[in-house]
Amino acid sequence: MKLVYTHIHLNDSKYEADLDELITQSKEAGVIRIITNGIDVKSNRETLELAAKYDIVRAAIGLYPDTVVQLSEEELEAELSFIKSQAKNIVAIGEIGLDYKNTTDLKMREKQKVWFKRQLQLATKLNLPVQIHTRDAESDVLDILDELKQQKVQLHCFAGGQVLIKRAVKKGYYLSVPVKAIKNNIFQDIIRFAPVSRILTETDGPYLHPVYGTRNDPTQVTLTIAKIAELKETHDNEVANIILNNYKELYEM
């Protein structure tokens, strides 16, 4: 099988000691593309360095909603300009979006929305896909995507339930399934209510590990493929081939 995973944080310190080995293991497992994500000033630059170092790694950089809350308008403007300057070195803008779990102040939520829209508009201008975080803000995210008539969308770890999943599919968005879906009903809903033609695989490593207390490793994407095949009553190879084509359609190759 040729495998892809579209969302991970390879710059995280949990990968520092053995990243070369993990990349090698990923290749041996059939992984041909990895998209690693930045979320702030520091990780955006680290993400670009990793994509330059490893041949199967691609970069997505952006301003995460928690980052937006923490930075000044001047700092945000500067980083948006940096992201724009790196258009030829990235395959997507992300991880961006809204997060209401950690931000309860209404003014700060509005600030998140403003900068979410700014990044979506930049992605459209640069003809790049977006990778979107939607924690406790799924409806507002879809409303904004509708408002801006956004194209080329990947909803990362979308937990909006059946109605919103079907709404996203109708718009032509892709929804990425993390490894945690092997035991998590919320993420299994993506598999149940979205056709495989709208599904991508990810790990969100080192987070969303399938076993509590462990690190989410890149090679575990094969577990996600198996769970999708099980719930769709098909074969692993067929699922992997469709997801590879989905990746090509949204990103590159």
d(CA 131, CA 85): 18
Residue 198 has φ and ψ, to the nearest 5°, of: -115, 10
More confident call, 68 vs 180:
68
Q: In the prediction, which pLDDT does 219 show?
A: 78
Mean pLDDT of 145-171: 97
**Which residue range is the domain that position 211 belongs to?**
3-250
Q: In the prediction, which pLDDT does 171 show?
A: 98
Name the strand (E) or helix (H) holding 52.
helix 41-53
Q: In the prediction, which pLDDT does 253 show?
A: 59
d(CA 248, CA 246): 5
Q: In the prediction, which pLDDT does 63 show?
A: 98
Q: In the prediction, which pLDDT does 102 show?
A: 86
The percent of residues in the chain predicted with pLDDT above 70, rounded, is: 100
**Tens digits of residue pLDDT in 74-122:** 999 999 999 999 999 999 999 999 999 989 999 999 999 999 999 999 9
Specify the number of domains making up the chain. Answer: 1
Name the strand (E) or helix (H) holding 98.
strand 92-99
Q: In the prediction, which pLDDT does 208 show?
A: 75
**Tens digits of residue pLDDT in 40-81:** 999 999 999 999 999 999 999 999 999 999 999 999 999 999
Name the strand (E) or helix (H) holding 175.
strand 174-177
CATH code at position 75:
3.20.20.140
Q: What is the overall mean pLDDT for the chain?
A: 95
Whether residue 28 contacts residue 58, with contact meaning beta carbons closer than 8 Å, is answered with no
Query: pLDDT grade, residue 214 (50/70/90)?
Result: confident
Mean pLDDT of 154-174: 97
What DSSP letter does each residue of 80-131 carry, written as one string?
Answer: HHHHHHTGGG-SEEEEEEEE-SS---HHHHHHHHHHHHHHHHHHHHHT--EE
